[in-house]
Amino acid sequence: MKYRTIGTDPKTRREVSVLALGAMLFGSVTDEKTSFAILDRYVEAGGTFIDTSDNYAFWIDGSQGGQSEKLLGRWRRSRGVGDEIVIATKLGARPLAPGTSYVDNAEGLSAKVIRESAERSRELLGVDRIDLLYAHIEDRAVPLGETVEGFAELVAEGTVGLLGVSNHAIWRVERARALAAAAGLPGYEVLQYQHSHLRPRFDVPESIFEDGSLGHAGAELMTYLRAEPGLTLVAYSPLLGGAYVREDRPLPRDYDHPGTPARLAVLREVAKETGASVNQVVLSWQLGGRLPIIPLAGASSVAQLEENLAAVDLELTQDQRARLDAVN
């Protein structure tokens, strides 16, 4: 395994494995025995960065979520896991009532919610401090200053380490960070957005976001990363839910455009040259790029995890990387 540092403050920054493990469906679609086996193998391989959320996976059974955090808590206790494993969670998108959705009934990002939701997550995970806590989705009904101060209070109390943000318009990320900096408060240092080698169209809104662009790491976010070297991008769904390699998993509709076939062709060429899978090429391309990107990949079996882990040691040549970067 290889490692990189997230965060800049010596008090809160952490060294984490360059490949993060997504636990979204652990405890729901993925049963406990399988989930534990995946987690055990990930740690055995040197993995130290696990991602979840307080609303995972409410859509499976019409609940408010929490299945993933509960399972991770049980796994931590049964294995005696300590703070050597960094667990990131998110708040803000938990439905307020069972049978509803965060699209129209989310908990939001008020100071009260931030405190109560973080405390609930700490209890479920069985941790004294949440290593990395994200603002999951936007809440434009709450002043940004209140959200910034709410997160900062938890950092000051020592119950939260690093702060992150996902699925927000970049201008709001920058405004929140500017408010925090002006007040001498900790701000967002980790950004979590969907990012893969294929590029989506941004004029095809997805049902889970009012603006389809908010979930994707587009050109604006990449420019922001270049301008702010202290930030890290955690790239979720880098393998597009298996769509690169499984015929029964079609690409999402926002990838249906003339640029997709050319990018797929280069991926397949490089996979053939290296003897690796297309999935492994995608992960290796992200891992070895010039920008600080940590792929966040889930797994529903140990075999899937093994394929992902092998990408950490896949070294692309300069020519291969240049071709992957240049294709339109």
In the prediction, which pLDDT does 254 show?
87
Residue 225 has pLDDT above 80, yes or no: yes
Q: Domain for residue 272, yes or no?
A: no
Report which secondary-structure segment, H or E, holds 11: none
Residues 175-217: tens digit of each pLDDT: 999 999 999 999 999 999 999 999 998 776 554 454 444 688 8
- Looking up residue 207, the CATH number of its domain turns out to be 3.20.20.100
Q: Domain for residue 270, yes or no?
A: no
Q: Identify the domain containing residue 165 by its residue range.
A: 3-257+282-317
Cβ 211 vs Cβ 200: under 8 Å: no
pTM of the model as a whole:
0.95
Domain count, the chain: 1
Beta bridge partners of 4: 16
Q: Domain for residue 302, yes or no?
A: yes
Residue 231 has pLDDT above 60, yes or no: yes
Q: Domain for residue 246, yes or no?
A: yes
Q: Domain for residue 13, yes or no?
A: yes
Q: Domain for residue 79, yes or no?
A: yes
Instruction: Tell me the C-alpha distance between 83 and 15, whole Å.
Output: 11
Instruction: Tell me the C-alpha distance between 258 and 115, whole Å.
Output: 46
Q: Domain for residue 324, yes or no?
A: no
Q: Domain for residue 266, yes or no?
A: no
